[in-house]
Amino acid sequence: MKLMHLADLHIGKRVNGYFMTDDQIDALRQIESLAKEQKVDAVLMAGDVYDRPVPPLQAVNVMDRFLTNLNDAGIEVFMIGGNHDSVVRLSFISTIAERQGLHIARPYGSDGPEIEKHVLEDSHGKLNVYMLPFIAPSDVRRFFDDIELGSYDDAAKAVVNATNIDVSERNVLLAHQLVVGSSDPERCDSEEINIGGLDMINASVFSNFDYVALGHLHSPQWVVRNKIRYCGSPLKYSFSEINQKKSISIINIGGKGEVSLEEHFIAPPHEMHEVRGTMREIREIAKENPGYRDSYIRAVLTESVSDAASKLRDLFPYLMKIEYEFGGNSEGDTELSHERLQGTDPVGIFQEFFAKINGAEMSDEELAAFKNTVSEIPRMNREDDDK
């Protein structure tokens, strides 16, 4: 069985004010040709199909075209919603779509506590495809009154345990969560940061699956080699991804436990680069790199320049961002980096912030009120999505 694993398309996304839709149309065309050329049996789309719960019209049209073309080519599609999608909206009409070979995951819990399952078949027998759209503990609690579900890890464990998985058959799961194996994941700025790592799920929760097709992290990477993978986003969605090599993952599944990866590369219509220096140095860089005229550029000026935007735009028509770095006042001082946020709990970070702003520590009462609010956030996020 040949499965193309996609995720984090974020159709309709805007990066630094630029709508990426034309780039996305181009990328999807390349993906489509690759799927046909490689004769994949199915495409797995592991969440963040759109960039927002209510995507713009053009984004919906782009997705409609992509899915129709795959369907015309006889390629089945399995799709789940990510934290950016409205799972409810996405799965509208999924019962009818299913008859066409387009399987869109219903919200978790639509048919009880088990993960939604579909069955494919080839010469090796059955291949079960499980689909788990993005879940927070608050989405699953109602099924597990007797279990304390404090973390995303608890929630995922409960959901997997509630699902009857025949380990003698081949099992594939689509999920959109932060799954962590033995080493630290590679992260970037276009992902949503969840302070304190509350959303972390241990890879061992998914040990009964032969392959887990993940979405959420935008850099292609294995969580567990040949078993659990983030395919990454097909395009770069922030300047922190300049050095990432995006790819398209095609997964070959032979008999039970036989999983291998083919990585394919697509050419983005516009590359992404950073230039840094004085105006004179940047002119030099532009001369040495003619390709930068077609690239998205972040320019970091190390001196004050009058009318910098129009001067830079002459050099780089796709200029996305201008930053200044001089006088020791770099942007890094005011931003919380991934490194600083990792391993610190949200309460601790807020206490630090509160003390800095107010010049005094929080009272016990204020602390209790804040903790209470933090525990409500996952629920509030879900309600936001449903608006």
Question: Looking at beta carbons only, is 6 or 115 nearer to Mn ion?
Answer: 6
Token pair for residue 178? 């932060």
Select from 20, 24, 31, 48 the one that contacts Mn ion (CB under 5 A).
48
Select from 8, 51, 85, 116 the one that contacts Mn ion (CB under 5 A).
8
Question: Looking at beta carbons only, is 238 or 302 nearer to Mn ion?
Answer: 238
User: Closest separation between CB of residue 130 and Mn ion, Å?
Assistant: 20
**Chain position carrying tokens 């961002």:** 321
Distance from C-alpha of 186 to C-alpha of 163, rounded to nearest angstrom: 30
**Chain position carrying tokens 């999983």:** 259
How many residues at the interface with Mn ion, by CB under 5 A?
A: 2
What ranges in the chain are assigned the alpha helix state H?
Answer: 21-37, 57-72, 87-90, 94-98, 137-140, 152-161, 279-288, 308-315, 338-341, 346-358, 364-385
Distance from C-alpha of 242 to C-alpha of 182, rounded to nearest angstrom: 25
Q: Which stretch binds Mn ion (CB under 5 A): 38-46, 48-56, 86-94, 140-148?
A: 48-56
Q: Which stretch binds Mn ion (CB under 5 A): 31-39, 43-51, 90-98, 379-387?
A: 43-51
Question: Looking at beta carbons only, is 81 or 346 nearer to Mn ion?
Answer: 81
User: Closest separation between CB of residue 298 and Mn ion, Å?
Assistant: 21
The residues with which 117 forms a beta bridge, in sequence order, are 130
**Residue 51 interacts with Mn ion (CB under 5 A)?**
no
User: E-strand spans in the chain?
Assistant: 2-6, 14-15, 18-19, 42-46, 76-80, 102-104, 116-122, 125-132, 170-176, 178-180, 200-202, 211-215, 221-224, 228-230, 248-253, 259-264, 272-277, 296-301, 319-324
User: Closest separation between CB of residue 254 and Mn ion, Å?
Assistant: 30
Q: Which stretch binds Mn ion (CB under 5 A): 25-33, 40-48, 205-213, 290-298?
A: 40-48
Q: Which stretch binds Mn ion (CB under 5 A): 5-13, 25-33, 135-143, 196-204?
A: 5-13
Question: Looking at beta carbons only, is 176 or 298 nearer to Mn ion?
Answer: 176
Residue ranges that bind Mn ion, judged by CB under 5 A:
8, 48
